[in-house]
Structure 1
Amino acid sequence: MNMQPSEVLKPNLGTMPEPPPSYATDGAEMPFGIEEMFFSKTDKRGVIDDFNDVFVRVSGFSGEDLCGAPHKILRHPDMPKAVFWLLWNGLQNGEAVGAYVKNRTKDGRYYWVFALAAPVADGYFSVRIKPTSEIHKQVIALYEEIRAAELTEKLTAEESAQRLLQRLRDLGYPNYGWFQSAAFGLEYEARQQALKAPPMMDVVNTKVASQMTQDLQRELAALAAEFDGAEILTANMKIFAAKLDQGRAVINEVAKNYDLMLRDIQGHLKTLLALPQSGGIWSTPEGQKASFMLCGYHLLDEVVHDYEHEKIKSGDPATPEEMHQIQSLRSGYKGHSDDAVSDCVKSALTIQRRIEFLLRMVLGLSTIRIACRVEAGSLRQSAHGLDTIVGRLDDFQDRIETRMVGIQQLATDILDRIGRPQGNVK
């Protein structure tokens, strides 16, 4: 977690103390098993006040060394200041934060973790796992790049964080929230596979539903674009009508009615489009948020079990207060996940119902289009070219009906995957 108490009070995070001196083992990796999971808790200043045995063994510090020490004693000089700036930014805004961290042991070795840190009542709690996914390799290279920029360009921690966020955007992550959700999901999945543990079906289903929800929004956006593009068809129809000696009023009225119905459908459709994510660091779609929190919930489940077992084995049982904090955090992850899943379900159900309504409105467009075709037939040669416009209307309606049916199916798949709400949802 690498807490830095001095940085909570000072906006410039670039004035960190020098890392501990190198030892003979500097550069060697400290091994630990993928099944091992260690944690620590700090107060609000970042001073360690609780930890488990795995943390003691891997860090190389004794319990006496760790208790009351600032968490930054583990900081490795290869770590970009940007990561800690983001970590503190998230924690101080009440966010659970996931980050890759390279730590330094007491004897100068290093070890990588994926840390999940979150605020608790009187400080911060962090649980760490061994990173094994492919994305970790990309992160190592990215950290080297950012750290080199910090040193050569004398970047402040905030400037470096902005550089890191830009590089993440270059890699396809709109902000850090998107990145941490993707990374945590991959690390959790890789760990489950390495342990040959059965997949957690709630995590699997939520992850799939999250992807479906993003696909659903892309399809809705594409459908909206189709309707925006259709405005030129009615404009062409009106232009064509203006050139007619006979049938001008009829064709113009057809174009007017078609245009009015198009705009009505466009208005309904826009209410289904998700608002663009804010430019903030942590905003993510509900499905991604649910997946992130579910993975955290299952890890905390392991922590609770292991912590109780460790305390009993040591003959120093955990106090009710200690257990309450961990269990409350675990419940919080589950609660956030449940809320996010519920929002996804409600959104899918609303889209499913509203698309059914819009399909009925499209039938009205078909009626107007047929009237246009009939009029084109009655005008014969004088309306040559109107057939082309009607043909384009046919193609347009075929496309939008196909898209709408596909959107309905996606919404149904999401509801089938993560469940339908009980009772009425408006």
Structure 2
Amino acid sequence: MNTMTMKEFDSVQREPRARAAAEVNVEEPFNVEEMFFSRTDTRGVIEAYNNIFIRVSGFSSEELKGAPHKLIRHSDMPKGVFWLLWNGLENGHPVGAYVKNKNKEGHYYWVFALVTPVEGGYLSMRIKPTSPQLALVEGLYKEIRKLELEQKLSAEESAKLILERLAGLGIHSYGAFQAHALHQEFEARRKALQMPAFSDLSNTETIAVTSELLRQELDQLADKFKSAEILTANMKIFAAKLAVGRATINEIAKNYDLMLNDIRNHLNTLVVPPVGTGIWDVPEELGAYFMICASHLMTEMCDTFEAHKCDVDGVDSDYENRVLIKLQKEYDKKSERAVAYGVQSAASIQRRAEFLRRMVLGLSTIRIACRVEAGMLRGKAKGLETIVSRLDVFHDEIEAHLEKIQHHVTTILLAADEHA
């Protein structure tokens, strides 16, 4: 697909043939159940839309057709948001974004837009944002827009500021932000419309949340084994001070150290790799949120468009319906792949965790040998009892981590079975 830079995109939009009135601080209402869309070519020129877009925008079908999408851009919108939008689209990603638009009368209206590359351009489907996330976004946009104007920031510089602010909130990529945001808006809308919960989304949420807990537990377990080196080091120090039993304790320490090293190497294959830090990097299971919500919304959009297609002048309804249906199927396939990845990962971790448990059992056998030797030496090995006590605490902690890991894996696999 041919794409363009934001500078090139803006250049084709400088002279819209239709214009909106001066902006006024009046909100243009539309209902939470209403959904609208528009499709543009690769330059952002409007080629298709539905009747709700016509009504909310205030422009006629004749004014919208062939007009640049910039026609409805509100001056409160930071340039950085559009930089992120086009960066995602040019890299083949669907992009979710909060957008403040203006209509022909200069009234504003907020949407959560899901923009997706399609053949020959892009399709933007919009819903009314109703979650608490909108208030956070309004504050962020106001701050960034103010800095843009004061410091004459470029669109890319503005985008970097947005990403920095999101990172400060614990959201380390725009891909993660849009997944969280779409999920929140989807659920807020579902509850407002008193719709039943979607089981596939509920199960995916369980998989995503539990996968993060599993990732944290594995990281903690790896750190615990790294810190265990001090245990064998202390054994060797005490052995060097012994007149009797030195060789035995040294051998126990040596075997314990070798087993620890084997376990650490095994953990390198078990620990879930960290997610990348790029703009669009996001855990697979979290990405499934995005795809499932998008799939459901696109299904509803197809139904809505089909119901009102006779009211849309200048639009080939049959063609647009095919575009929407194709897009819905693509989102559905992507969501299934994301869930399948989570299931395969959990199953692999379960197998390796079972092997790890057997390795820990072997390690525990060496610990018992140390305890027996300490009992035999009694007062001749003062301090060895303390080491044995620390080994006992270490093994209890390891067992607790293994129990949590097994619990998380089981939860993921059960949710995946229900999803299937």
Class of the TM-score when normalised by the shorter of the 2 chains: over 0.9
**Conservation of the 8 A alpha-carbon contact between 1:103 and 1:112:** yes
2:149 pairs with 1:151: yes
The match for 1:57 is 55
Q: Return the match for 1:238 from 236, 241, 244.
A: 236
d(CA) in 1 for partners of 2:133, 2:242: 64
**Conservation of the 8 A alpha-carbon contact between 2:81 and 2:159:** yes
The match for 2:94 is 96
SS of the aligned residue for 2:34 comes to: coil
Deviation at residue 59 of structure 1 after TM alignment: 0.6
The match for 2:163 is 165
**Conservation of the 8 A alpha-carbon contact between 2:292 and 2:331:** yes
- Letter of the 1:336 partner, please give it: K
d(CA) in 1 for partners of 2:236, 2:107: 76
d(CA) in 2 for partners of 1:196, 1:135: 20
Q: Return the match for 1:281 from 273, 279, 282.
A: 279
SS of the aligned residue for 2:27 comes to: coil
- Letter of the 1:71 partner, please give it: H
Taking a change above 3 Å as real, the CA distance of residues 22 and 177 of structure 1, as seen in their structure-2 partners, is same
d(CA) in 1 for partners of 2:385, 2:207: 43
Deviation at residue 322 of structure 1 after TM alignment: 2.7
d(CA) in 1 for partners of 2:231, 2:372: 17
Taking a change above 3 Å as real, the CA distance of residues 87 and 316 of structure 1, as seen in their structure-2 partners, is closer
Gaps of 5+ in 1: none
**Conservation of the 8 A alpha-carbon contact between 1:8 and 1:45:** no
**Conservation of the 8 A alpha-carbon contact between 1:168 and 1:174:** yes
2:334 pairs with 1:336: yes
Deviations, residues 261-281 of structure 1 (Å, cap 9, x unaligned): 111111111212222222210
d(CA) in 1 for partners of 2:284, 2:216: 15
Taking a change above 3 Å as real, the CA distance of residues 53 and 319 of structure 1, as seen in their structure-2 partners, is closer
Q: Return the match for 1:33 from 27, 31, 36.
A: 31
- Letter of the 1:383 partner, please give it: A
SS of the aligned residue for 1:268 comes to: helix
Q: Return the match for 1:261 from 259, 262, 266.
A: 259
The match for 1:218 is 216
The match for 1:399 is 397
The match for 1:322 is 320
Taking a change above 3 Å as real, the CA distance of residues 421 and 361 of structure 1, as seen in their structure-2 partners, is farther
d(CA) in 2 for partners of 1:303, 1:15: 29
Deviations, residues 342-372 of structure 1 (Å, cap 9, x unaligned): 0000111111121111111111011100111
d(CA) in 1 for partners of 2:418, 2:373: 47
Deviations, residues 140-196 of structure 1 (Å, cap 9, x unaligned): 000000000000000000000000100000011001011111111000000000000
d(CA) in 2 for partners of 1:317, 1:106: 20
The match for 2:40 is 42
The match for 2:416 is 418
d(CA) in 2 for partners of 1:221, 1:98: 31
SS of the aligned residue for 2:270 comes to: coil
SS of the aligned residue for 1:271 comes to: helix
2:139 pairs with 1:141: yes
The match for 2:130 is 132
**Conservation of the 8 A alpha-carbon contact between 1:96 and 1:119:** yes
**Conservation of the 8 A alpha-carbon contact between 1:308 and 1:317:** no
Q: Return the match for 1:105 from 98, 103, 106.
A: 103
**Conservation of the 8 A alpha-carbon contact between 2:23 and 2:102:** no
SS of the aligned residue for 1:399 comes to: helix
- Letter of the 1:248 partner, please give it: R
Taking a change above 3 Å as real, the CA distance of residues 168 and 352 of structure 1, as seen in their structure-2 partners, is same
d(CA) in 2 for partners of 1:399, 1:156: 52
Taking a change above 3 Å as real, the CA distance of residues 22 and 284 of structure 1, as seen in their structure-2 partners, is same
The match for 1:206 is 204
Q: Return the match for 1:368 from 343, 347, 366.
A: 366
**Conservation of the 8 A alpha-carbon contact between 2:200 and 2:419:** no
Deviation at residue 380 of structure 1 after TM alignment: 1.7
Structure 1 residues 212-221 or 271-280, which shifts more?
A: 271-280
d(CA) in 2 for partners of 1:182, 1:294: 12
Deviation at residue 323 of structure 1 after TM alignment: 2.6
d(CA) in 2 for partners of 1:95, 1:260: 47
- Give the alignment's TM-score, normalised by structure 1: 0.93
**Conservation of the 8 A alpha-carbon contact between 1:14 and 1:157:** no
d(CA) in 2 for partners of 1:143, 1:17: 23
Deviation at residue 324 of structure 1 after TM alignment: 2.5
d(CA) in 2 for partners of 1:337, 1:402: 33
- Give the alignment's TM-score, normalised by structure 2: 0.94
SS of the aligned residue for 1:124 comes to: strand
Structure 1 residues 402-411 or 28-37, which shifts more?
A: 402-411
SS of the aligned residue for 2:227 comes to: helix
Q: How many residues align?
A: 417
**Conservation of the 8 A alpha-carbon contact between 2:38 and 2:53:** yes
**Conservation of the 8 A alpha-carbon contact between 1:14 and 1:81:** no
**Conservation of the 8 A alpha-carbon contact between 2:20 and 2:71:** no
Deviation at residue 63 of structure 1 after TM alignment: 0.6
d(CA) in 2 for partners of 1:154, 1:390: 65
Structure 1 residues 356-365 or 411-420, which shifts more?
A: 411-420
Taking a change above 3 Å as real, the CA distance of residues 18 and 245 of structure 1, as seen in their structure-2 partners, is farther
Taking a change above 3 Å as real, the CA distance of residues 314 and 96 of structure 1, as seen in their structure-2 partners, is closer
**Conservation of the 8 A alpha-carbon contact between 2:173 and 2:281:** yes
Taking a change above 3 Å as real, the CA distance of residues 61 and 283 of structure 1, as seen in their structure-2 partners, is same
**Conservation of the 8 A alpha-carbon contact between 1:38 and 1:129:** yes
Q: Return the match for 2:78 from 77, 80, 86.
A: 80
Sequence identity (%): 53
